[in-house]
């Protein structure tokens, strides 16, 4: 069975390498930051308000929701960095390899299988979003295509080549573009809120929103977090920060990937 950690001399060398390039990676810290943000902040973040609304219908519900979002985010961040440190101490370059060298080779298929399933599910979810988006965009440009045609086109021409990339640093500019897009969406929502265009009962654009989607407020605030319905938000948050299967790849691709960095 492989050792759980390098020999003491190897560990000392690893800890004192300082500026030496350990893994031959080329990605800079900004590259990694943008890729990590884009891995976490995806379309799923826009569903978090629905998770809050599941247990509370007044502004007071934002307080416990903020505490939940922050605390789970801190735990997820620590676990992400912990995987990188495990890779550094064991010399592993993948999630399953890190498991193999710490837990044992007999069960190393578990993280590999779960990571594969998670990525497949994420690709399916984002593929559905892209299919709906590009179908409408192409329709607006005068190109009539079915949703199925759009889905296959996006999967074959866009998603498959991206899945075959061995180095994610080249995606940093697109990750930045995605982050800007999310910031733009949040800004547009803020402007709409402050302008009162969707405010009840006579907002300028309120009538354009389907009745079942129009905002409704009640009296359940912070105390609603004790309701079992709060687990809807907790379940959303359990995957909202999920990028841990990429932690070894982020570590290997980082230039001068010392534990401190």
Q: Is the pTM of this model over 0.75?
A: no
Give residue-wise pLDDT tens across range 190-242. Answer: 998 888 888 877 888 888 888 877 777 888 889 989 999 999 999 888 878 87
Q: At 141, give phi and psi (nearest 5°).
A: -90, 5
pLDDT (mean) for 48-53? 88
* Spatial separation of the C-alpha atoms in residues 221 and 235, rounded to whole Å: 20
DSSP code for 198? T
DSSP code for 227? S
Check residue 5 and give its pLDDT: 47
* Spatial separation of the C-alpha atoms in residues 91 and 73, rounded to whole Å: 27
* Spatial separation of the C-alpha atoms in residues 241 and 207, rounded to whole Å: 35
**What is the C-alpha end-to-end distance of the chain, expressed in Å?**
30
Give residue-wise pLDDT tens across range 123-163. Answer: 787 788 888 888 888 888 888 888 888 888 888 888 788 87
């Amino acid at each position: 069975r492989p050792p759980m950690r390098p020999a003491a001399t190897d560990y000392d060398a690893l800890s004192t390498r300082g500026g030496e390039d350990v893994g031959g990676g080329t990605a800079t810290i900004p590259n990694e930051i943008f890729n990590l943000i884009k891995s976490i902040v995806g379309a799923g973040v826009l569903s978090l308000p629905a998770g809050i609304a599941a247990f509370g219908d007044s502004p007071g519900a934002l307080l416990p929701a903020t505490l939940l979002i922050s605390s789970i985010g801190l735990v997820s961040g620590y676990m992400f960095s912990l995987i990188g440190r495990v890779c550094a101490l064991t010399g592993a370059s993948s999630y399953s390899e890190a498991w193999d060298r710490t837990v044992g080779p007999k069960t190393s298929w578990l993280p590999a299988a779960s990571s594969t399933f998670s990525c497949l599910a994420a690709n399916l979810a984002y593929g559905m979003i892209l299919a709906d988006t590009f179908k409408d965009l192409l329709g607006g440009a005068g190109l009539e295509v079915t949703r199925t045609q759009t889905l296959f086109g996006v999967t074959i021409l866009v998603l498959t080549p991206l899945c075959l990339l061995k180095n994610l640093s080249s995606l940093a500019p697109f990750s930045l573009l995605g982050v800007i897009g999310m910031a733009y969406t949040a800004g547009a929502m803020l402007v709409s809120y402050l302008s009162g265009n969707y405010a009840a009962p006579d907002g300028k654009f309120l009538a354009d929103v389907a009745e079942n989607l129009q905002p409704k407020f009640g009296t359940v605030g912070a105390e609603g977090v004790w309701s079992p319905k709060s687990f809807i938000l907790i379940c959303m948050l359990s995957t909202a920060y999920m990028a841990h299967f990429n932690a070894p790849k982020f570590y290997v691709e980082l230039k001068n990937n010392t534990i401190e960095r």
